[in-house]
Amino acid sequence: MKMYHVKICVMVLLIPMLACKKNVKPPDNNPGNGNGGNPTGNFSAFRLTISKAEKVGDPKIQLYPDTVYSSYNLGSGLFKALPAEYDDKIVSFRLPKGFMAVFAANYDGTGESVCYVAIDSAINANLPARLRNSISYIRYRAINNPDKKGTASTNDTTVNALGGQWFYGWSLNRSSFTGQQFVPMTWGKGSCTDENVKTLVERSDVDHLLSFNEPDNSSQSNISNMDTATSRYKVMQKTGLRLGAPATTQNQVFGSGKWLTDFMNLAQIKNCRVDFIPIHWYDWGNQTNNQSTDSLTAVAIFNRFVTYVQNVHLNYPKQTIWVTEFNANPNRTSVPVHKYFMKLSTEWMNNTAYVERYSYFFPNSVPAVNADFTLTEAGTYWKSLASAKSFSGNIVSDDTVVVPE
């Protein structure tokens, strides 16, 4: 859909195209940091443990949260060199409950990489074979688990009125509120810069990052070249945040020759880590396909919605899904249709583990708030709907061997 409220940097960053080959690390230009680890004794259950042996055996060391362990230097004190004796020597790890960790082969966070999220319990595991003795970048930080239901809005007053536990506004530079976590979005290729990477690393209130907004749409981020799309996407991997694929228009998510299909194929070749798939759905093509009653119309819309989301999952089974823009179609002005569709769709998504988050896009014909920012009937109903938590369990890649503690 729309939204032009985006701060887009004009500086274009040219980065090498990296596939399986590991980056050659630069000299350590961060000498004042030390190793930032806890090498001996007094091991804490709340620090990340990395080990040179399987099953987190000795020798091992602990790392502190809110840190990027890498020889990469963006002028931030949060970047600390990975202890030299563990660089390219890590085999296993223990991630405490309530934290996430990104491990990457290249010193800047690109290349082969994996993101783990420990929600139910600590994760004690051997690294996948593709990453053993190859890690040169680690980002370790606490992670939030908000409700699935969030808010898509460029207006802070609307965000606060709707009260979702997370929100986004097609931009990088909003602030979180108490109980309402902001999810930044690069939106376009011009925002993929080291300057923005540094800013995002230094923010303690964000743990996820959305990437491009409708790159297949000439009136939105408009990125037709896949090499450009993947190279700019890789810049944002340097943040060590959990990272979403570009969100295309409804018809370009799956199928031969579709934008996201081509992106995901090239991303796999170039080792771009994609943690979740954001999607937009507006029941396009069915604007006038209405039934005899509002409730029957809403049921038909819901059935098409479920079929679509299920097809997305079938095409990308390794990624979870965020439904970041959806409604019963902007051309449908019936509030009862929108409300009943909200009810059916949220109940289904709350009970579908691979749908991680969702946010309703209120069309101009059915707004969320009045002119004075009080909630409309539709906005009040959306706010009243129950929601499950985003994560239903730990996030562990299927090539990871979990071992008992």
Distances (CA, A) of 321 to 26, 186, 311, 324, 353: 37, 18, 11, 9, 9
Q: What pLDDT is attached to residue 362?
A: 98
Q: What pLDDT is attached to residue 15?
A: 37
Say which residue, 183 or 42, is predicted with more confidence: 183
Q: What pLDDT is attached to residue 25?
A: 54
Q: What pLDDT is attached to residue 165?
A: 98
Q: What pLDDT is attached to residue 37?
A: 61
Q: What pLDDT is attached to residue 388?
A: 98
Distances (CA, A) of 164 to 144, 178, 351, 381: 14, 11, 18, 13
Q: What value does the mean pLDDT take over residues 367-391?
A: 98
Give the pair of three-digit tokens for residue 166.
């997370």
Q: At 104, which helix (H) or strand (E)?
A: strand 99-104
Of 77, 234, 207, 197, nearest to 140 by C-alpha is 207
Q: What pLDDT is attached to residue 9?
A: 38
Q: What pLDDT is attached to residue 320?
A: 98
Q: What value does the mean pLDDT take over residues 306-329?
A: 98
Interval 2-28: pLDDT, tens: 444 433 333 333 333 333 446 655 444
Q: What pLDDT is attached to residue 43?
A: 75
Give the pair of three-digit tokens for residue 10.
């004009």
Q: What value does the mean pLDDT take over residues 320-346?
A: 98
Interval 204-244: pLDDT, tens: 999 999 999 999 999 999 999 999 999 999 999 999 999 99
For each of the domains in the chain, give its residue range(s) and CATH number, in order of start.
31-143+395-402 (2.60.20.10), 149-384 (3.20.20.80)
Q: What pLDDT is attached to residue 24?
A: 52
pLDDT-based confidence at residue 249 (cuts at 50, 70, 90): very high
pLDDT at 258 over 80: yes
Q: Is 12 exposed, middle or buried (0-12, 13-18, 19+ CB in 10 A)?
A: exposed
Q: What are phi and psi of 323, to 5 degrees?
A: -95, 85
Which single residue is written with the structure tokens 């690393």? 201
Of 107, 98, 31, 74, nearest to 395 by C-alpha is 98
* Residues in CB range of 126: below 8 A, 6 or more apart: 54, 55, 91, 92, 132, 400, 401, 403
pLDDT at 49 over 60: yes
Interval 151-210: pLDDT, tens: 999 999 999 999 999 999 999 999 999 999 999 999 999 999 999 999 999 999 999 999
Average pLDDT, the chain: 92
Q: State the Cα–Cα distance between residues 363 and 356, nearest whole angstrom.
A: 23
* Residues in CB range of 319: below 8 A, 6 or more apart: 245, 274, 275, 276, 277
pLDDT at 300 over 70: yes
Rounded to 5°, angle at Cα 181 from 177 and 183: 125
Percent of residues, the chain, with pLDDT higher than 70: 90
Helix (H, G, I), strand (E, B) or coil at 315: helix
Contacts of 313-320 with CB under 8 Å at 24 or more apart are 313/354, 315/253, 315/254, 315/261, 316/254, 316/264, 316/277, 318/398, 319/245, 319/274, 319/275, 319/276, 319/277, 320/275, 320/276, 320/277, 320/354, 320/355, 320/356
CB atoms within 10 A of CB 52: 17
pLDDT at 317 over 70: yes
pTM: 0.91
Give the pair of three-digit tokens for residue 44.
């804490």
Q: State the Cα–Cα distance between residues 25 and 215, nearest whole angstrom.
A: 32
Which single residue is written with the structure tokens 């007053």? 157
